[in-house]
């Protein structure tokens, strides 16, 4: 029943008097309870692979802030791991993957092992049993282009140069890699849905690095394939697309992928988005995470501008990207009170 779940109702096209709220990366290092649990359990992947601990992390921001959505605590790079790449995290440096997917032999050796993701489904089962009845449970996966950039470079990179070079130099090899990711992602999201998530988000964190033609091939086309398969096999589950950095290509993404809602990063003018995206399309976003750190009048003005821009359409209030680890918790409380109309 969507009437008891405002976020799910919004994803299905219903405008709310006040937008439902969740924040990307809402379960994470800015919370003292998260830092305490992580110190107890060890590294990041130790948390992800511990279903009890990952469920606890997922629930922490719901207890503290009463968000309308709970986002599964996991990582986008579990898909390369399930495809056969070794995944680990370097302290202070981020994820590493090996071997790099740079030739046909390496890509051809990829083989999806669904059993590698069993702990994720255990997390979902535990969270589902503990969530308040009005909270929508969100699953997620990385979009194929973003996942491919990590698999090719072996780590994150700001310009995604290695992946972009490969896409130009050997588009057939890139297509084979993307096809592997697409197939695994479809099965992974369907398994999340079967375990209990009610909506899913596709994170394309590096979509903004591509030219228009490359964006069509490596962002829009594989996303549309995933959306079509999910819609055929789980038609009741809304899909949010988040192509960070897409800018002026957002209209094409919205029209051609078939997503149910579109996430906007902080660089998108909400007035432009409201004028250029379909009037009935739910949007999500798009407060700058750094404004949340600044707080005060600056934060209030930024919130009010977003609320005004999206007042006449289905809108989920969120950040334009993940919450920063040095975000003051008092600022989060202040933002939520402002969005909910509890302060002026």
Question: Catalytic residue numbers?
Answer: 25, 29, 38, 75, 150
User: Whole-angstrom Cα distance, residue 149 to residue 80?
Assistant: 11
d(CA 107, CA 129): 39
CA atoms of 280 and 82, how far apart (whole Å):
37
Reduced to 3 states, what is the DSSP secondary structure of residue 240? strand
CA 100 – CA 88 distance, rounded (Å): 13
The Cα–Cα gap between 316 and 19 comes to 5
For CA atoms 280, 229, 25, 167, give the dihedral sign. Answer: negative
Distance (Å, rounded) from C-alpha 182 to C-alpha 188? 10
Buried-state track 145-157, b at ≥16 Cβ within 10 A, e below 16: bbbbbbbbbbebb
Rounded to an integer, what distance in angstroms lies between the CA atom of residue 222 and that of residue 178?
8
State the burial class of residue 190 (Cβ atoms within 10 Å of its Cβ: 0-12, 13-18, 19+): middle
Exposed, middle or buried: residue 236 (CB in 10 Å: 0-12, 13-18, 19+)? Answer: exposed
Q: Do the Cβ atoms of 283 and 315 come closer than 8 Å?
A: yes
């Amino acid at each position: 029943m969507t009437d008891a779940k405002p976020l799910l109702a919004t994803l299905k096209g219903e405008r709310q008097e006040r937008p439902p709220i969740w924040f990307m990366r809402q379960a994470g290092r800015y919370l003292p309870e998260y830092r305490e649990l992580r110190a107890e359990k060890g590294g990041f992947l130790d948390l992800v692979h511990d279903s009890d601990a990952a469920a606890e992390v997922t629930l922490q921001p719901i207890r503290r802030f009463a968000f309308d959505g709970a986002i599964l605590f996991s990582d986008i790079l579990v898909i390369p791991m399930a495809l056969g790449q070794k995944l680990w995290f370097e302290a202070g440096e981020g994820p590493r993957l090996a071997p790099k997917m740079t030739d046909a032999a390496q890509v051809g050796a990829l083989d999806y092992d669904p059993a590698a993701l069993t702990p994720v489904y255990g997390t979902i089962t535990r969270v589902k049993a503990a969530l308040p009845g009005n909270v929508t449970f969100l699953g997620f996966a990385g979009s194929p282009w973003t996942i491919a950039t990590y698999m090719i470079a072996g780590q994150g990179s700001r310009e995604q140069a290695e992946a972009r070079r490969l896409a130009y130099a050997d588009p057939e090899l890139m297509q084979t890699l993307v096809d592997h990711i697409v197939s695994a992602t479809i099965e992974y999201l369907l398994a999340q849905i079967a375990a209990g998530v009610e909506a899913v988000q596709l994170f394309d964190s590096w979509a903004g690095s591509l030219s228009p033609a490359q964006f069509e091939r490596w962002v829009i086309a594989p996303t549309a394939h995933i959306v079509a398969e999910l819609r055929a096999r789980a038609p009741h589950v809304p899909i949010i697309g988040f192509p960070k950095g897409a800018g002026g290509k957002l209209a094409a993404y919205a029209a051609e992928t078939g997503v149910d809602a579109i996430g906007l990063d902080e660089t998108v003018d909400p007035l432009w988005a409201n004028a250029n995206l379909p009037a009935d399309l739910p949007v999500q976003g798009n407060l700058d995470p750094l404004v949340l750190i600044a707080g005060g009048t600056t934060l209030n003005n930024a919130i009010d501008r977003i609320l005004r821009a999206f007042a006449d359409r289905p809108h989920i209030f969120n950040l334009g990207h993940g919450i920063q680890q040095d975000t003051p918790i008092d600022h989060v409380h202040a933002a939520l009170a402002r969005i909910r109309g509890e302060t002026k």
